[in-house]
Amino acid sequence: MTALRKSLFLTMTLGLGACTMAPHYDRPVMPVPVATPTGPAYPAATGAGEAAGFADTHWSDFFTEPRLREVIRLSLVHNRDLRLALANVEQARAQYRVQRADLLPAVAASGGATYQKSPFGAVGGTGGAATGAGRLDIYTAQVGVSAWEIDLFGRVRSLTKAAQEQFFSAEENRNAAQSTLVAEVATAWLTMAADQERLRFTRDTETAFRRTLDLTTARFRAGVASELDVRQARTSHDQARADTAQLTTQVAQDQNALNLLAGTTLEAALLPEELSGTGVTIDRLPGELPSEILLRRPDIAAAEHQLIAANANIGAARAAFFPKISLTAAFGTIGLGLSNLFSSGSEQWSAAPSATLPIFDYGKNAGNLRYAKATRDAMVATYEKTIQTAFREVADALARRGTIDAQLEAQTSLRDNALGAYRLSEARFAKGVDGFLGTLDSQRSYYSAEQILVTMRLVRETNAVEIYRTVGGGLN
């Protein structure tokens, strides 16, 4: 018994202490410049510490609009995509635990009884071992391990490492899903706010165009305006009517999209009426960013964990070329009769180590190794492409941030001038000073300028959300 215990202890020590045959992992060099681009399209640079602090900003601090914060909170609780991502994490965690269990021997207890009758009569004994002519009752009880692989070459450890990295990758994918969800909810809420504002303006414009149509019709009946003026005025009014119907539909669809993202039907009190003039996010946004900050993004972290898992699988494929050593061992007791099962001298034990060495596998192991290496190379490319995509997303968002204020200022001035021209032309037309064509052109110019201005304001708000998402915000 003592020899068996020592043998098992030594075997477990060798198996757990074995190193793997996986290649040494070195993080690939980032295939992007050390910092985001600079130039006239980009905002002024900020310090790296400020940029890192921005990425760590909690979403409830980044979004300053109370209704939007509540909608985001509801989505983090009820959104089904996020629940699916969480379930994927639990699946990966369970798979890791299953694989990790192979590092240690699975100990099982068993017991049995054999009842035998022989025509040669019962074997003599005491304690009721012989229960009748030719009758034997044999009882056994034992504890042991079965076919435990002694991981001398690190195959199981490599597979366990790969499963662990898959679990880490699933966690990062869940974080990426949350970051994306926060941005999508905010964008959908802002889009609905912009459409609400467009709808209200279009309704007001429809009313104004209706007044112009009535005035033009009256002037036509009085012989002052032409039928062409009437038809042109009706065209503008009909266009506004069509736009009103379209935007009414769009607002309803915006609400449906927002309900889907939130995972529940939102109360009317949480829905926006218009774009806030002060914005819905904090004003402190970063300018130039170091590329290293991209490593904080969960999608990049997930891609790196996949790469490390592929690297570990190479170790498992290499270990397959070496002997696979396993052990089956048991210790227990046997007795003739239940009362003799644990009596002195009834102990029994067995140990059956085995080794299997592949000799002719017709290239199976070599193919598995080449596949593992090719998978590792694919994961390197995926990791680098993920970084390049993230770099472009950040650069594009910063380029938009660097020019949007100037564009918004210019568009606001254009709208104000178009409004002034429309009011002057409408007054001159009402007094009969000018014809209807000038009024019609100014109406259309003002209508278009106001719609574009709302779009520009929406772009500015969603750009702040996009910058927050691209640097990995929204996880806290």
**Model pTM?**
0.86
C-alpha span between 168 and 164 (Å, rounded): 6
Q: Rounded CA gap, 326 and 336, in Å?
A: 32
Taking 3-state DSSP, the helix, strand and coil percentages for the chain, each rounded to the nearest 5, stand at: 65, 10, 25
Cα–Cα distance between 155 and 316 in angstroms, integer? Answer: 4
Tokens 């049995």, residue located: 112
In whole angstroms, what is the distance from residue 23 CA to residue 180 CA?
34
Q: Which of 354, 353, 316 is nearest to 155 (CA)?
A: 316
Report the distance separating Cα 297 and Cα 57, nearest Å.
Answer: 14
Domains contained in the chain, CATH given: 19-103+152-322+363-470 (1.20.1600.10)
- What is the pLDDT tens value at each position of the chain, 476 positions in all? 454 455 545 555 555 555 778 899 999 999 999 988 888 888 876 655 566 677 788 999 999 999 999 999 999 999 999 999 999 999 999 999 999 998 888 888 888 888 877 665 554 444 444 445 567 788 888 888 888 888 888 899 999 999 999 999 999 999 999 999 999 999 999 999 999 999 999 999 999 889 888 888 888 888 877 888 889 889 989 999 999 999 999 999 999 999 999 999 999 999 999 887 667 998 877 777 888 889 989 999 999 999 999 999 999 999 999 998 888 888 888 877 677 777 776 788 888 888 888 888 889 999 999 999 999 999 999 999 999 999 999 999 999 999 999 999 999 999 999 999 988 887 887 777 776 777 788 888 999 999 999 999 999 999 999 999 998 888 87
179: its two tokens: 């970051």
